[in-house]
């Protein structure tokens, strides 16, 4: 632990899109809790940029970064296929570790990280910042309130129409929509689904991507005592749909990542409707429903605060022993099991 017991010394491995735009940015906003003391990246211009911004030590090699004994926390933001080896190496060096998504390719790799974390008596924290998504938290609050009744089905989606051609479109780098975007929605989907192990159906396709990994994915989680939860991630939807659609026995919810609305019926105030076995007046059943409606949008202050900020505030408390870790390896292990099942059982042909 650093000399200042409340301010953690951080090393960032990888200064790409996530390492710089998400993690470094969050630490800059939480300067009372963290200091970026060291970084590593093979590109000299990125190291120079970090040194200018943070006044930190710079290393071309991740191994040299991991050997820096003054660090409390190492952020593994290297390319996806390197996450496991780098997380384990950082733990062996005695650091707490934050691992970018996807944290691993299968549950065996997750378990290997967990064993090393236990052996080193260090925290290995999966980066699932959208566990702090204000809209998700509000949707979960509405669902848990019971106002919509029993939840029958939930659909979550990120729709777009675009081409992509970077390294994250390649299978050999653990690319594809499921690994790139899927961890965000699947993390929330599994929390809504509940603690039971889901049955999984998945459909993967290559639509507009230049790589060999999928850019269209549909995942369905289902079980006998759980809502059916659908996750759609696609780059070939010319008519994007709502990001959220919830169907319940008393009402429903719909919305985007910025605002939602929901409505429900109080059936206790309506006339009972027992089954009629005799033919009646040649008309289908009809009744006038009285809807109660509410809406909510993300407050401006929350909209302007990246989700990584509350995530790292919580991680700081966990490392200092002041609070339990919110996003645990075990909770994300379930997500990796779903991703692995989709890739193995429903993946694209080689």
- Looking at the fold, whether 231 and 87 belong to one and the same domain comes out as no
User: How far lies 228's CA from each of 177, 219, 232, 238, 292, in Å?
Assistant: 21, 10, 13, 25, 25
Number of domains in the chain: 2
**137-138-142 Cα angle (round to 5):** 120
Domain carrying residue 95: 8-127
Whether 165 is covered by a domain: the verdict is yes
How confident is the model over 86-138, as pLDDT tens digits? 999 999 999 999 999 999 999 999 999 999 999 999 999 999 999 999 999 99
- pTM higher than 0.85, yes or no? yes
- Looking at the fold, whether 223 and 281 belong to one and the same domain comes out as yes
Whether 315 is covered by a domain: the verdict is no
> What residues does 259 pair with on adjacent strands?
297
- Could you tell me which of 320, 66, 83, 307 has the C-alpha nearest to residue 188? 307
Cβ atoms of residues 116 and 94 within 8 Å: no
- CB count within 10 Å of CB 47 equals 19
Report the C-alpha gap between 328 and 110 in whole angstroms: 11
> Mean pLDDT throughout 278-286?
78
Rounded mean pLDDT of the chain? 94
How confident is the model over 232-249, as pLDDT tens digits? 999 999 999 999 999 999
Strand pairing category for 73-76 and 96-99: parallel
- Looking at the fold, whether 151 and 69 belong to one and the same domain comes out as no
CATH label of the domain that carries residue 192: 3.30.360.10
Q: Using CB atoms within 10 A of its CB, is residue 343 exposed (0-12), middle (13-18) or buried (19+)?
A: buried
> Mean pLDDT throughout 315-332?
95
- pLDDT of residue 200 exceeding 80, the answer is yes
How confident is the model over 312-323, as pLDDT tens digits? 999 999 999 999
């Amino acid at each position: 632990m650093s000399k200042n017991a409340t301010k953690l010394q951080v090393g960032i491995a990888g200064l790409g899109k996530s390492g710089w735009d998400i993690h470094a940015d969050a630490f800059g906003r939480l300067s009372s809790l963290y200091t970026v003391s060291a970084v590593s990246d093979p590109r000299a211009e990125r190291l120079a940029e970090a040194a200018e911004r943070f006044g930190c030590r710079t290393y071309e090699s991740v191994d040299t970064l991991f050997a820096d004994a003054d660090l409390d926390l190492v952020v593994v933001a290297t390319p996806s296929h390197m996450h496991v080896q780098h997380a384990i190496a950082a733990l062996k060096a005695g650091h707490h570790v934050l691992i970018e998504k996807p944290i691993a390719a299968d549950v065996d790799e997750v378990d290997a990280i967990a064993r090393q974390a236990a052996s080193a008596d260090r925290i290995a924290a999966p980066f699932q910042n959208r566990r702090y998504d204000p809209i998700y938290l509000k949707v979960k609050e509405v669902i848990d309130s019971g106002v919509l009744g029993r939840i029958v089905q939930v659909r979550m989606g990120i729709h777009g129409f675009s081409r992509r051609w970077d390294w994250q479109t390649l299978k050999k780098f653990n690319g594809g929509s499921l690994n790139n975007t899927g961890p965000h929605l699947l993390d929330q989907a599994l929390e809504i689904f509940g603690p039971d192990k889901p049955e999984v159906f998945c459909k993967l396709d290559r639509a507009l991507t230049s790589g060999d990994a999928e850019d269209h994915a549909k995942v369905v989680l289902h079980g006998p005592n759980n809502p059916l939860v659908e996750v759609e991630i696609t780059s070939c939807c010319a008519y994007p749909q709502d990001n959220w659609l919830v169907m319940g026995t008393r009402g429903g919810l719909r919305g985007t990542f910025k605002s939602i609305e929901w409505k429900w019926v109080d059936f206790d105030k309506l006339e009972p409707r027992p089954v009629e076995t005799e033919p009646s007046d040649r008309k289908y059943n009809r009744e006038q429903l009285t809807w109660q409606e509410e809406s909510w949008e993300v407050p401006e202050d929350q909209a302007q605060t990246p989700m990584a900020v509350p995530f790292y505030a919580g991680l700081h408390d966990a490392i200092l022993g002041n609070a339990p870790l919110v996003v645990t390896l075990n909770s994300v292990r379930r997500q990796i099991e779903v991703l692995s099942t989709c890739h193995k059982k429903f993946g694209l042909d080689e």
